[in-house]
Structures are given as structure tokens and as C-alpha cells.
A and B are shown apart, each in its own frame.
Chain A
Amino acid sequence: MSQENLKYTKEHEWIKLDGEICVIGITSHAQEALGDITFVESPAVGDQLAQDDICGSIESVKAVSEIFCPVSGEVTEINEELEDSPEFINEDPFGKGWIFKLKIEKASDLDELLDLSAYEALIENE
């Protein structure tokens, strides 16, 4: 997946807009910082989430990181494979390591997110 067309949060989630459905995951930078991921707590299908809500968490051997919802909307699907294979996030964070899908409520939420160059500048300065 080209990372050019994605949006990013300061908390290291990525969002891909496909019609009115957003796919959400965490960035390669985030998975690298966490190390081996051992457990993913996803939101539930049907959850109504507001932008910046804490909607789940990702655990690695050494750390726990919360998942912030990048845009408001309703959860339509979660990546059930992560239950048995949380390492997909390490192996392919922008592909089979996606975490959940959400039907976006208002497209303007996306305006507050970072594009690739802004995100790269952010992690450069960390």
C-alpha cells in the first residue's frame, strides 16, 4: 500500500479513506517503537466513536499503547486475525496489520490529520 495517500495522527495511527469507510492501523514507526506485539484490544463492531476517543490498546512485551480514534464514526469491521496473530502489525503494519474499519461521520475530521510529509517531519523530531 502506498503510504503517500494515507493520513496520519500525532499518536501514530494511519487512516485510509475508501469511499465513506476508513481503514485504520498504526504506522511502521509505531510498531517498531513498541517491539513484538503480543495483544491487540480492538473496538467492537457497532461502537460509535468520537475523534480522539481511546478505542483500544496495543501491547508489546515491554509496553502498552492506546489506540486513539482518528475520526468520528461507527466501527464497521475489525481485523479478527489479530487475535491469533498480533504480529501482523509488526510484519505488515500498513497491510494485513490493519486494526479496524469505521464509517466516517464527517469528512472534515480528516482535515485535522497529517499528510505523509507532515508525519515524517513529526517522527524526525521525536
Chain B
Amino acid sequence: MKKTSLYEEHTKLSGKIVDFAGWALPVQYSSILNEHLHTREKAGIFDIGHMGEFIIEGENAGEILNTLISSNISSLKEKKCRYGLLTNEEGGVIDDMITYRLEENKYMVVCNASRQEADFNWFKNHLPPEISLKDISEETSKIDLQGPLSFDVLLETLSIDATHLKYFQIDYFNFNNREITVSRTGYTGELGVEIYCPNEVAVEIWQKLISHENVKAIGLGARDTLRLEVGLALYGHELNEEVLPNEANLMRFVSLDSDFTGKEKIVQSIENPTKALVGLALTSKRAARDGMLILDENDIEVGAVTSGSVAPSLGIAIALGYVTPNCQKIGTKLNIDNGRTKLEATVVELPFFKDGTARRKLQL
């Protein structure tokens, strides 16, 4: 397994190490439930060094990225970023990613570790020769700081005042004579930032952050329950090459004004959809799990669960899953077959957890 530059820090904190997309990463340190609640209430730090970062640069790079990524990249202002999907000829999702406009003609794409190679090859094969593509993942570390106290923690531990950042905006800061990038984004629904830094300073940044009394290290387990509660998709669960963005409820990240790969298939699918991603609220803490079948009230199979867990902030189990379009209406009663019994579920609005602080105003 590959190790991030923070591996030793996880073992020092007794992190329970698992294989995640070929990376040795902590699934939890002490308790997924406590780590989850701590992030919602205070601040947590996550080692996200496994994710991939590419620099894509050249004349009209934005317009060219518009032909590959579903969202409008060229309309981004400098130091802003946007979520989008890399799609294949069939409109299927190769990966989901955040694209940053660093400079006029310089972009950074941040992608899933499990898809890094596929994404790189896709870009390599589809970008014209005048656009350069560079994988900077090896030398880049990423630490997410998430939770309502994140910006206080940044100031108090790293002397970084980032309160001018709007949601999905970035800025550069100096840390030990190195440039680090702070992005007001995240995967938890809470106020927070993602910090991109050279590997050499990652340990020191981590140690300074964790020294704060309100900061805890958070593992992948709580990262998953936090993102699930706010209804965010996870590649390999809600997204794969057979899923179209409209089916995954991601049309707000699709710009039909630009001609990106697979757009026509998506337009066709919007006219005639075959499945829809829905949020399901269960009646107890008994969880539905990825792959379990979803049945309608007459026990007819209508879909399958893609993610499921107890929701620590809500006190019930929740799930995401695909169902036939006739079952996607809010309030529809469904059952989930867990192999032993049927779990009652109701289609609910997303996100499940609505009190996240991610968009909180920091400056008037």
C-alpha cells in the first residue's frame, strides 16, 4: 500500500489503517461516531493526500476543458473552483472532480485516488498537444480542515486569516517559506477548507493543527458518514461509468451550453430516464448497505442501495440508492431487503442533514 506523507502521524494517533484505493489510510482513530460529531460541532482534520492533482495549462485551456468536463470551466474567475464531471462518449461518469482556475490559462483538477490513472489517461488522450498536463499528486499533500471552528483554528495555529474566502474560492499563503493553497471547499457540509501543500511541510501543518484543543484527527469512516448526511456522491458508489449525471441528480453541475463529451446522451437520458438517485430515510438505526435491493410496496424490485449508514447527527439510518423514475417522488414508501428482513424506507429530500455551516458568512 502507498503511504501519504502523514502516515506516521496516523500511527502515532493509533489510527486503524485500512487499504483505501491502494493507500494506507486511517478508517478511524478512536470512534467514527465521536469523530463525526466532533467535526459537526468543532473542527476535524483529514489526511486526503491520496487524492490526485493535475495541472492543466495552455492557451484557451478553459475552453478546452469545457469540452471534457460537464460544468462551465472557462467562466470561472481566477482563484475560484467548481465541481464537475468527466464524462465518456456515453455520458457516463469517468470521475467527479473539482477544477480550480489558478491563473488565466492555468487550472488544477483534483480527482479521486481510485480514478487518478483513468483520468490522467483520458486527459492525455483528449487534450490537444499545446495544452500541458502535469500530475503533481506525488509531491502534493492535502489536509482538510472541516467544522464550524475551522477558520479560528487556521488563524490560531497557522496564523492564516482566510476569512475573506467565499465558498469555492482559494488563496495562497506562506508557510515556512512555502506556498500553500487554501480552498474554502470540503466534503462534510461544514464550514472549512482544504489545504494543498508541498509534502515537506505537511507534517508540520498537521501537527500545528492537531495541537489545537478543538481539533481532532478524523478518519475515512467519519468522512463517509459526514458526506452521506449531506447527500454528496462518492465515486464507486453513487457514480461510475454507467451512471449519467442527470441520473445522479447532478444536473446543476452540467452546462448544456458547452459541447462536452457525451452531452447528447445525457440530453437523451433527460428525456427518457431509466433511474434516479434518491435519498432514503429509514425508521431505525439499522442501516441499509451498498448493494441491498430496494423494493416497492408490492415487493417488486425497483432499485438498489449505493451507500448506507446510521446518520450520527440524525439518529436514524439513511441511504442513497437508484430507483426507477416512478419511485423517486418525495414521500414514496419503499422497502430495503437486507437479506434477513425488510427495512422500511421513505424517499426524502436531500441533503438529509440541513444544518451544515459550509456556506456561513464570515465577513460582512
Contacts and interface: CB of A to CB of B under 8 A. Distances in A.
Interface of A: 35-36, 38-39, 41, 57, 59-62, 64, 86
B31 A38 contact: no
27 contacts: A35-B16, A35-B32, A35-B221, A36-B31, A36-B32, A36-B33, A36-B34, A38-B285, A38-B287, A38-B310, A39-B285, A39-B310, A39-B317, A41-B286, A41-B340, A57-B340, A59-B285, A59-B286, A59-B287, A60-B32, A61-B221, A61-B309, A61-B312, A62-B32, A62-B309, A64-B289, A86-B285
Interface string B12-27: 0000100000000001
A38 B286 CA distance: 7
A60 B287 CA distance: 9
A38 B289 CA distance: 14
A60 B32 CA distance: 10
Contacts of B309: 61-62
A64 B288 CA distance: 10
Given A35-B28, A39-B317, A62-B309, 14 more contacts: A35-B16, A35-B31, A35-B221, A38-B33, A38-B310, A39-B285, A39-B286, A39-B287, A59-B286, A59-B287, A59-B310, A60-B32, A61-B221, A61-B312
B340 A61 contact: no
Interface string B313-337: 0000100000000000000000000
A60 B221 CA distance: 11
B26 to A, nearest CB: 12
B289 A61 contact: no
B352 to A, nearest CB: 15
Interface string B237-277: 00000000000000000000000000000000000000000
Contacts of A39: 284-287, 310, 317
B291 to A, nearest CB: 12
Looking at A59, A61, A62, the one whose CB has the most chain B CB atoms below 10 A away is A61
Contacts of B284: 39
B225 interface: yes
Nearest to B33: A36
Contacts of B28: 35
Interface in B267-314: 284-287, 289, 309-310, 312
Interface string B195-226: 00000000000000000000000000100010
Nearest to A61: B32
Contacts of A64: 287, 289
B286 A61 contact: no
A61 B33 contact: yes
A8 to B, nearest CB: 23
Nearest to B220: A62
A39 B285 CA distance: 6
A59 B288 CA distance: 10
B314 to A, nearest CB: 12
A59 B33 CA distance: 13
Contacts of B286: 39, 41, 59
A39 B312 CA distance: 12
Contacts of B312: 61
